[in-house]
Amino acid sequence: MTLYDLTAKLNNGRNKKLADYKGKVLLIVNTASKCGFTPQYEGLQSLYAKYKDRGFEVLGFPCDQFGHQEPGSDAEIKEFCQLNYGVSFPLFSKIEVNGPDTHPVFKFLKSKKGGLLGDSIKWNFTKFLLDQKGSVVERFAPMTPPSAIEAQIERLLGK
C-alpha cells in the first residue's frame, strides 16, 4: 500500500484521492486551532505560498486528541484558519491520529517513520515530509518550526 491508495475527506465534506498529489512534495501535518503551536499555521502558509507553484503541497489534518485543542466543527476550523492565518492550503475533516480510530493516512505515515518514543503522535503539529513518489522522507516534532524544514523542501523540489 502507498499513500496514493488512500482517500481523505476534505474540510468541505468531499472525498479527496491522495493520488491527486502524485509527483508533488508533501508536508502532512496534524493541526489544532487552540494550541501553543497554532501560530505555525503562519509558517505552513508561508511555505505553501512560496513553493506551491513548484510542486509543493501542505495538507492539514485537524485533530482534537491533544488537550481538546481543536474543539470546533470543520466549518469553524476553516474560518479560523482563513481569518487568522490566511490559510489557503487544503484542510481536511477532523480526524484521529492515534488509537483504534486512527485515520488511514496517519496509520501509513506512522508506519513509515516512527517518533522518538515509538509510532504514536505525541502532540499537534507533528509534520511528515514526503517526496514526489509518496515516500516519507522525514518526521518532524511539533516544536520544529516550518521554516526549519525549508531547506529540505528545496532539496526535494530541486533548485
Task: Decide if domain 29-157 falls under CATH 3.40.30.10.
Answer: yes
Candidate list 35, 97, 109, 149, residue with the active-site label? 35
pTM given for the model: 0.96
Q: Domain map of the chain by residue range?
A: 29-157
Q: Tens of pLDDT along 34-68? A: 999 999 999 999 999 999 999 999 999 999 999 99
Q: Tens of pLDDT along 101-119? A: 999 999 999 999 876 667 8
| The C-alpha cell that represents 145 in the structure block | 518550526
Residue 63 bears catalytic tag: no
